[in-house]
Amino acid sequence: TPFILTVHILGVAAAILVLIWSISYRGGLNWNAVNKNLVFNIHPVLMVIGFIFVSSEAILVYKSVPGSKVYRKGVHLSLQAVALGLGIFGICAAFKYHNESKIDNLYSLHSWLGLGTIILFAIQWIAGFVTFWYPGAAANTRRSVLPWHVFLGIFIYVLAIASAQTGVLEKVTFLQTSKVFGHYDNEAYIANFTALAVLLLGVFTVLGAVI
Amino acid sequence: TPFILTVHILGVAAAILVLIWSISYRGGLNWNAVNKNLVFNIHPVLMVIGFIFVSSEAILVYKSVPGSKVYRKGVHLSLQAVALGLGIFGICAAFKYHNESKIDNLYSLHSWLGLGTIILFAIQWIAGFVTFWYPGAAANTRRSVLPWHVFLGIFIYVLAIASAQTGVLEKVTFLQTSKVFGHYDNEAYIANFTALAVLLLGVFTVLGAVI
Ligand code: HEM
Ligand code: HEM
Ligand code: HEM
Ligand code: HEM
Ligand SMILES: O=C1O[C@H]([C@@H](O)CO)C(O)=C1O
């Protein structure tokens, strides 16, 4: 399907944009930095590339990867596990940054949406695993669960996209209200285009899944 | 369907929350106020109640309103027209506030998502009108266009929900960075719960439409 190539391209575009933003404009990524902003920068990179990009590719595996049904299922569940792991790691980076900078945890709408997303994602993964892989449900149970797996999977994925939109908006608003850059400066466009690339990635991934 | 009642309740809850926030905490609504914050307050109220709540009810008309097909179609298109009109009016309030307070226009991710949403919504309305109402397409054209009308209608509606999430987050971030209220103060919960009520309203409206 034509959406697969579009998803690959938009995923790479979102990845490049978030890297340019974090590395060229925000000073780079460093888990152990004294400058805690470099600890923070790990967060958007892992959420956009590790979580959303990988999960987008995982969703489309059944349409993009050749091979047997069981092989593609294995790739789908493995990639979703990678996305979950990198997503959790990315959230840990946000908490580490908050704790080491003495900033409150879990006060913002973004943090609530983000935490809700990753919890639902973990539940969805476990439910998918026990139903479709091991131990695996009876054939007719699988058949009736599958539409829910697809619907809820898309719903949680859309929630991840919305979380990323609020995250980018929040970071840009912090930086602009503290006069780090202006409303129409290059960095504002790089950051907002990162969010728009993630949004379009989401649109085409959902289109690819349902069509 | 059980989702209809849930949608009514969540819509009323979101409406009450945005009114409490705007009136009790933010000082009320006034198009001609000298205090420009009261001009701004018209924006969230019209976007949540006038645009999103009305559009949610419009989407579910075919499942919630009894009567002939043509009658429900008339209610659907009329309510969507009301939502579009109040949405445009609500955006005018945001521009009026910006202009009279000498704040830049259209610099934020929220404003881009919001403007994109309302433009797509207007196009969707016109396309729906000419296809299904007047002059109306041939029967087989209608049949093939309908799944796209539903899919794109839901997509644009989800974009409206995402725009509202970013809008609430942006306003709360402005108020918290300028120390109007703290991270864990009542107003923060009222505002964030408004956003969550809108999100749940969106989830159940989409569920109601597809199931
Ligand atoms: C699906 C993607 C994302 C998820 C699940 C997510 C999740 C989270 C969570 C749970 C926190 C709270 C950390 C704490 O309270 O200590 C957080 C904080 C933060 N995130 Fe994200 N995030 C995502 C994407 C992004 C992106 C793309 C950005 C862009 C810069 C971002 C910016 C922030 C900021 C500025 C904070 C600190 C302020 C706050 O707590 O709201 N996030 N994120
Ligand atoms: C949070 C993790 C997961 C998410 C978000 C997710 C999401 C999705 C989505 C959106 C689809 C529809 C794909 C399409 O229409 O092309 C799908 C299909 C499927 N998923 Fe998952 N999934 C997850 C985890 C798992 C796991 C762990 C398994 C275990 C094997 C699994 C098994 C399946 C199966 C069997 C299909 C149906 C493939 C088909 O025959 O069309 N999923 N998943
Ligand atoms: C679907 C719903 C919404 C749409 C379509 C929308 C659209 C817009 C647009 C187009 C602007 C730009 C005005 C300008 O540049 O002069 C704007 C500004 C604004 N809106 Fe919304 N809005 C929505 C909901 C909300 C909500 C619920 C809030 C909550 C308070 C909100 C808060 C703001 C704020 C703070 C601004 C000014 C800062 C900025 O330009 O980003 N919006 N909105
Ligand atoms: C921006 C405005 C509009 C949006 C967002 C929208 C959205 C939707 C959605 C989501 C559905 C699916 C409802 C369901 O599954 O229960 C639907 C159905 C429908 N809409 Fe619209 N719509 C809009 C405007 C219009 C207009 C102007 C017309 C003109 C008559 C129209 C005609 C229809 C028809 C005929 C159906 C199919 C009803 C059925 O037989 O199930 N829509 N619309
Ligand atoms: O005008 C309409 O077109 C569709 C359908 O007839 C297409 O098959 C529908 O439900 C209408 O009310």
What does each C-alpha distance from B43 to A68, A86, A90, B93, B192 come to in angstroms?
53, 38, 34, 6, 16
Point out the residue among A109, A169, A191 whose CB comes nearest to the CB of B110: A169
Distance A178 CA to ligand 3 centre (A): 21
A169/B170 CB distance under 8 A: yes
Alpha-carbon gap, residue B200 to A119, rounded angstroms: 17
Q: What is the pLDDT confidence band of residue A147, given thresholds at 50, 70 and 90?
A: very high
Distance A165 CA to ligand 2 centre (A): 24
Return the residue whose CA atom lies nearest to atom 11 of ligand 5: B132
Is A148 near ligand 2, meaning CB less than 6 Å away? no
Distance A158 CA to ligand 4 centre (A): 22
Distance A164 CA to ligand 1 centre (A): 8
Chain B residues near residue A112 by CB distance under 8 angstroms = 192, 196
HEC per residue, B158-183: HHHHHHHHHHHHHHHHHHHHCCCCCC
Chain A residues near residue B169 by CB distance under 8 angstroms = 108-110, 166, 169-170
Return the residue whose CA atom lies nearest to atom 39 of ligand 2: A62
B109/A169 CB distance under 8 A: yes
Point out the residue among B151, B165, B210 whose CB comes nearest to the CB of A166: B165
| HSE-CB for B20 with a 13 A CA cutoff | 15
In three-state secondary structure terms, B32 is coil
Q: What is the pLDDT confidence band of residue A131, given thresholds at 50, 70 and 90?
A: very high
What tokens appear for A201 in the block? 């990635």
What integer is the mean pLDDT of A160-176? 98
Ligand that lies nearest to the alpha carbon of residue B62, given by its number in the listed order: 4
What angle, 0 to 180 degrees and rounded to 10, lies between the N-to-C axes of helices A139-177 and B186-210? 140
Shortest distance between the Cα of A169 and any Cα of chain B, in A, equals 6
Residues A97 and A40: beta-carbon distance below 8 Å:
yes
Give the pLDDT score at A1: 76
Chain A residues near residue B168 by CB distance under 8 angstroms = 109
Closest chain B residue to A104, measured at CA: B183
Distance A166 CA to ligand 2 centre (A): 26
Give the pLDDT score at B2: 87
Does B64 contact chain A (CB < 8 Å)? Answer: no
Point out the residue among A104, A110, A155 whose CB comes nearest to the CB of B169: A110
What integer is the mean pLDDT of A151-174? 98
DSSP designation for A26: T
Give percent of chain A with pLDDT exceeding 70. 100
Chain A residues near residue B108 by CB distance under 8 angstroms = 169, 172-173, 183, 192
- Full pLDDT tens readout for chain B, 211 residues: 789 999 999 999 999 999 999 999 999 999 999 999 999 999 999 999 999 999 999 999 999 999 999 999 999 999 999 999 999 999 999 999 999 999 999 999 999 999 999 999 999 999 999 999 999 999 999 999 999 999 999 999 999 999 999 999 999 999 999 999 999 999 999 999 999 999 999 999 999 999 8
Return the residue whose CA atom lies nearest to atom 16 of ligand 1: A95
Residues A147 and B146: beta-carbon distance below 8 Å:
no
Give the pLDDT score at B36: 98
Give the pLDDT score at A2: 86
**Predicted confidence (pLDDT) per residue in A51-74, tens digit:** 999 999 999 999 999 999 999 999
Chain B residues near residue A210 by CB distance under 8 angstroms = 151
Q: Is the pLDDT of residue A186 over 90?
A: yes
Pick from B42, B47, B28, B25: nearest CA to B98: B42
Distance B204 CA to ligand 2 centre (A): 22
Alpha-carbon gap, residue A119 to B43, rounded angstroms: 33
HEC per residue, B67-123: CCHHHHHHHHHHHHHHHHHHHHHHHHHHHHHHHHCCCCCCCCHHHHHHHHHHHHHHH
Return the residue whose CA atom lies nearest to atom 7 of ligand 2: A153
Give the pLDDT score at B29: 98
A109/B165 CB distance under 8 A: yes
Give the pLDDT score at A80: 98
B177/A172 CB distance under 8 A: no
Give the pLDDT score at A37: 98
Pick from B205, B99, B190, B128: nearest CA to B160: B205
Return the residue whose CA atom lies nearest to atom 42 of ligand 2: A128
CB count within 10 Å of CB B70 equals 9
